[in-house]
C-alpha cells in the first residue's frame, strides 16, 4: 500500500486494523513479548476471560433453566 493510498483510506474512514488474540497469546507464552505493559494487559485479559468462563459455567449449573 502506498502512502497516498493510506492517506486516502484514512480520510475516508475505510482503514482498519485487527489484532489476532491467538497470535498474541502464542507470542506471550513463547516469551517473545518484552513490553511489560502489553504482558500485564494480556495477563489481566486472560484472567478476566477465565473468570467469565467460570462464572458462566457456575451460572448455568445453578440457575434455573428459565433464567439462564
Q: What is the DSSP string of 15-67?
A: ------HHHHHHHHHHT----HHHHHHHHHHHHHHHHHHHHHHHHHHHS-TTT
For the cut 70, the answer to whether the pLDDT of residue 68 exceeds it is no
According to the model, what pLDDT value does residue 14 have?
A: 58
- Which tens digits make up the pLDDT trace of 10-66? 777 755 666 777 887 788 888 887 888 888 888 898 899 999 999 989 888 887 776
- Domain ranges (residues) in the chain: 19-68
Distance (Å, rounded) from C-alpha 12 to C-alpha 8?
Answer: 6
Amino acid at each position: 500500500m502506498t502512502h497516498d493510498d493510506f492517506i486516502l483510506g484514512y480520510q475516508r474512514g475505510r482503514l482498519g486494523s485487527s489484532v489476532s488474540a491467538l497470535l498474541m497469546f502464542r507470542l506471550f507464552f513463547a516469551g517473545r513479548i518484552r513490553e511489560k505493559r502489553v504482558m500485564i494487559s494480556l495477563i489481566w485479559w486472560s484472567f478476566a476471560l477465565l473468570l467469565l468462563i467460570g462464572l458462566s459455567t457456575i451460572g448455568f449449573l445453578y440457575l434455573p433453566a428459565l433464567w439462564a
